[in-house]
Amino acid sequence: MNKDWLKSLVTAWLGYWLFSSSAVAAQQCLDTVPDTTNERFETQLDGSLYEPQLGLLWFSCLYGQQWKDGECAGTAKRLSLAAAYGYADEVVLAGYSGWRLPNINELQSLVEWQCVNPAVNTDYFPEITSGYFWSASARNNHNDQPTILMVDFYNGRVRDALYLKGYLLLVRDM
């Protein structure tokens, strides 16, 4: 039996186990996978993150949290899609109005593919939680009914909105 093949198999199995096991309690990152989000953002002092390549400003705190003393304070809360849209329309964060729900591509661009639980760069989003996050994108399901898409920040995968509530990150165009 080829030892290199066996070593590759064991390495692949361990990687699969780390990324799929419900026993994983904290963020796990594989150094063998290139990072996808490092140095993409410019951190602002007001809790926002500027992404110059896309011209987007993200607010680093989740719904239910506030930017206070250089960090996100409070507890992230899930909310309905209608409440998420209402909140985005009214809120002023980092001195700006005009916040919105990100489309699915924008939201998934935050995924750090070398990590799980959460699959995000916690240097930029330190308080993000593994869970389902609302997007402003939908697809037609088999009944030609729109289904809202979400990103599961446990592993970065796009999912149909199977739940009545989700977490919220907001973005605005600059």
| Residue 15 domain-assigned (yes or no) | no
What's the CATH code of the domain at 82? 3.10.100
* 11 found inside a domain: no
* Contact (CB, 8 A) for 121 and 35: yes
Is residue 120 within 8 Å of residue 37, measured between CB atoms? yes
User: Look-up: residue for tokens 């705190």?
Assistant: 61
Domain count, the chain: 1
Q: What is the pLDDT of residues 38-50, one digit of tens each?
A: 778 999 999 999 9
pTM of the model: 0.80
162 in a domain, yes or no? yes
For 132-171, write each residue's pLDDT tens digit.
Answer: 999 999 987 777 777 899 999 999 999 988 778 999 999 9
Does residue 4 fall inside a structural domain? no
| Structural domain for 39, as ranges | 27-173
Is 3 inside any structural domain? no
